[in-house]
């Protein structure tokens, strides 16, 4: 069975949300990060960077939450995407993982970055229910998880972005979101 390595309140919850959405059986291995278990040889053999999440799927090891999401979508998604579709999916997963996450979590540039990033996101989500259009996808996990961290962790005022607020609400109501993002992992 696929193993997902995470810790208390870590980005493993993002991967967990997607595993739950896809109904992929998995075992969650919770590392005691306070005690430094992610820096021990056993885990460094899986991710030499000493960061979670990481997965072990059979003989295959992978780390970086965005890469894991894309791998799971490709392997378990049962959909053959064109290079263009794959490009769009990667665009949003990388955006969520890097541009959006940095824009929101780096306090020194947050105000400026949010003014750039939130209005176009609000416009897109005001016109369609999901990041890629009318269908939920891995892009929603990548972007939705970062957006959902805002009320969970930062308590920023998002009232200027009603479509984003509504999107966070819709995502938060998904049972898989609650199992994954609400798991405290
Ligand atoms: N970009 C990476 C970030 C991984 C990351 O920084 N994980 C944190 C937990 S959320 C971690 O393992 N921190 C432990 C440490 O840096 O010692 C990803 O999305 O997987």
Q: What is the CATH number of the domain that holds 163?
A: 1.20.1050.10
Domain-embedded: residue 88: yes
Q: Is 52 in the pocket of ligand 1 (CB under 6 A)?
A: yes
Give, for ligand 1, the residue of 29, 52, 93, 149 to mutate: max count of ligand atoms closer than 8 Å to Cβ.
Answer: 52
Q: What atom in ligand 1 is closest to the CA of residue 63?
A: 20
| pLDDT score for 133 | 97
Domain-embedded: residue 40: yes
Q: Is 16 in the pocket of ligand 1 (CB under 6 A)?
A: no
pLDDT tens per residue across span 90-108: 999 999 999 999 999 999 9
Using DSSP's 3-state secondary structure scheme, residue 176 falls into helix
| pLDDT score for 80 | 86
Same domain, 73 and 133: no
Domain-embedded: residue 152: yes
pLDDT tens per residue across span 136-163: 999 999 999 999 999 988 989 999 999 9
Same domain, 115 and 169: yes
Domain-embedded: residue 185: no
Same domain, 117 and 155: yes
**Taking 80 as the threshold, does the pLDDT of residue 126 lie above it?**
yes
Same domain, 113 and 69: no
Q: Among 38, 59, 77, where does a domain finish?
A: 77
Q: How far is the CA of 51 from the centre of ligand 1 (A)?
A: 4
Same domain, 44 and 106: no
Question: Strands 54-57, 60-63: parallel, antiparallel or unpaired by DSSP?
Answer: antiparallel
Using DSSP's 3-state secondary structure scheme, residue 30 falls into strand
The residue among 93 and 182 whose pLDDT is bigger is 93
- Report which protein residue has its CA nearest ligand 1's atom 16: 51
- Please, which pLDDT band fits residue 183 given cuts at 50, 70 and 90? confident
Same domain, 92 and 160: yes
Expressed as residue numbers, the domain containing 124 is 83-174
How far, in Å, CA of 43 to CA of 88, rounded? 32
**Taking 90 as the threshold, does the pLDDT of residue 79 lie above it?**
no
| pLDDT score for 1 | 95
Same domain, 97 and 63: no
Hey, what are 118's tokens?
């939130």
**Taking 90 as the threshold, does the pLDDT of residue 78 lie above it?**
no
> pTM higher than 0.85 for the full model?
yes
Domain-embedded: residue 71: yes
The rounded percent of the chain whose pLDDT value lies above 90 is 92
How many domains does the chain fold into?
2
Domain-embedded: residue 72: yes
């Amino acid at each position: 069975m696929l193993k997902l390595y995470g810790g208390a309140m870590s980005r493993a919850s993002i991967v967990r949300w997607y595993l739950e959405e896809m109904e992929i059986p998995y075992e969650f291995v919770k590392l005691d990060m306070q005690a430094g278990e992610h820096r021990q040889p056993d885990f460094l053999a899986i991710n030499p960077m000493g960061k979670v999440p990481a997965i072990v799927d059979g003989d295959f090891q992978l780390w970086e939450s965005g890469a894991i999401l894309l791998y799971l979508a490709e392997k378990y998604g049962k959909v053959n995407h064109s290079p263009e579709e794959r490009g769009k999916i990667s665009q949003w997963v990388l955006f969520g993982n890097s541009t959006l996450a940095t824009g929101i979590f780096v306090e020194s540039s947050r105000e400026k970055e949010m003014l750039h990033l939130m209005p176009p996101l609000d416009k897109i989500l005001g016109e369609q229910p999901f990041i890629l259009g009318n269908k939920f996808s891995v892009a929603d996990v990548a972007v939705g998880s970062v957006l959902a961290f805002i009320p969970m962790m930062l308590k920023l005022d998002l009232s200027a972005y009603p479509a984003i607020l509504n999107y966070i609400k819709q995502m938060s109501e998904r049972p898989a979101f609650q199992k994954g993002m609400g798991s405290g992992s």
